[in-house]
């Protein structure tokens, strides 16, 4: 008889189970404290018992853990100075969705040479998240692979579902079981309907195929996630302006969902031009100063050096602290953006407390 399955599979390489990876890189007491404090603070912001904004800020993707931790230490130091107004959460993205081809991120290809040592990438990703949390800095990531949260989820305070995956039933079901608040991005065309439907879906219980901590195929049964919210990232045009925000509020209200909106200052909202991110943030800050109560968070793509760089054949030629995916603002610009927002929002945010 002719073979009828696995015709295009070359090999099945054994992957360590989530339990094995956890044992190699165990959660520490300091990291656990940071994760739980970050989640509770974000939940309180979404519940409106905490009037602050949360700001997800960091590199487009992690490729160099040394530079990444350098950045994390700077961010942790600044977070103390703005903590009365802004909760800083480090953007720690290990997986990159690709329209066609390109580097798929630190988990899939940690050596950046198409060798795809995923088992090594998963361990190193967990080590990096642990180090960030041990600094006392909560971490945010994008959930792309539905199995990865079993390996890393205990070290994440906030999760994003990207514009390409908000419509995916797999990711909606996965989100319903995540332990973090989840931000669903609007579709690549700018429409918020997909994300609103995703929030509704993820708030409900689901049953689906997945793996348990021992790596065994399981029927995963979830409770539903009450902390889904909308992320505006632009589409065919930017959608952070007052009219777009008002339309997003109306869409959430129609669906009987809390009017919780995060504005992504990057991606289509800045036409992928990092130098425009400060202008987007200024506009959003001004909306809040003028009375907006639905915007609860911001996202910034930022690294030590500005811009981005291609991945060279000789990795020794990589510029330190410069993105290898989307272009970022540099650290001095990041400081100015966050400190300016902190100064301008002290009064307006204090007046939000207890207001839904």
**Residues ≥6 apart with Cβ < 8 Å to 254:** none
What is the three-class DSSP state of 312?
coil
pLDDT at 2: 84
Segment (H or E) for 37: helix 29-47
Residue 332 confidence (pLDDT) above 70: yes
Q: How far apart are CA 95 and CA 324, in angstroms?
A: 13
Mean pLDDT of the region 84-90: 98
- Structural contact between residues 107 and 121, judged by C-beta atoms closer than 8 angstroms: yes
Q: Any idea what DSSP says for residue 335?
A: H
pLDDT at 351: 80
Pair type for strands 139-142 and 207-211: unpaired
- Structural contact between residues 304 and 273, judged by C-beta atoms closer than 8 angstroms: no
Q: How many CB atoms lie within 10 A of CB 218?
A: 13
- Structural contact between residues 155 and 180, judged by C-beta atoms closer than 8 angstroms: no
What is the three-class DSSP state of 18?
helix
| Of the options 3.40.50.300, 3.90.600.10, 3.40.50.620, 3.20.20.70, the CATH number for the domain spanning 18-350 | 3.20.20.70
Q: How many CB atoms lie within 10 A of CB 215?
A: 17
Beta bridge partners of 315: none
Tell me the per-residue pLDDT of 266-278, one tens digit each, with 9 for 90 and over: 999 999 999 999 9
Residue 5 confidence (pLDDT) above 90: yes
Residues of the chain with pLDDT > 70, as a percent, come to 98
Mean pLDDT of the region 329-335: 98
């Amino acid at each position: 008889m002719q073979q009828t399955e696995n015709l295009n599979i070359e090999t099945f390489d054994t992957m360590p189970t989530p339990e094995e990876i956890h044992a190699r890189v165990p959660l520490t007491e300091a990291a656990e404290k940071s994760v739980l404090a970050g989640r509770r603070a974000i939940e309180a912001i979404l519940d409106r018992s905490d009037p602050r904004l949360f700001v997800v800020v960091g590199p487009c993707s992690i490729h160099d853990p040394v530079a990444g931790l350098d950045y994390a230490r700077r961010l942790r130091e600044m977070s103390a100075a703005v903590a009365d107004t802004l909760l800083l959460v480090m953007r720690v993205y290990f997986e990159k969705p690709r329209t066609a081809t390109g580097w798929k991120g630190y988990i899939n290809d940690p050596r950046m040479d198409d060798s795809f040592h995923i088992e090594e990438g998963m361990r190193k990703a967990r080590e990096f998240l642990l180090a960030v949390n041990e600094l006392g800095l909560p971490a945010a990531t994008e959930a792309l692979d539905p199995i990865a949260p079993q390996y890393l989820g205990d070290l994440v305070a906030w999760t994003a579902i990207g514009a390409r995956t908000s419509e995916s039933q797999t990711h909606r079901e996965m989100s319903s079981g995540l332990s973090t608040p989840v931000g669903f991005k609007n579709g690549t065309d700018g429409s918020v309907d997909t994300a609103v439907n995703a929030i509704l879906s993820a708030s409900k219980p689901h049953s689906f195929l997945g793996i348990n901590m021992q790596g065994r195929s399981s029927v995963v049964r979830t409770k539903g996630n009450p902390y889904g919210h909308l992320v505006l990232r632009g589409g065919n045009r930017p959608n952070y302006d007052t009219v777009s925000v008002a339309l997003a509020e109306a869409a959430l209200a129609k669906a009987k969902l809390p009017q919780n909106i995060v504005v992504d200052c990057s991606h289509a909202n800045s036409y992928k031009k990092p130098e425009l991110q400060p202008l987007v943030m200024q506009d959003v800050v001004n909306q809040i100063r003028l009375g907006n109560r639905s915007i609860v968070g911001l996202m910034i793509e930022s690294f030590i050096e500005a811009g981005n760089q291609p991945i060279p054949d000789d990795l020794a030629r990589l510029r330190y602290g410069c993105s290898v995916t989307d272009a970022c603002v540099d650290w001095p610009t990041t400081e100015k953006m966050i400190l300016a927002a902190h100064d301008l929002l002290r009064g307006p945010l204090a007046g939000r407390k207890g207001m839904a």
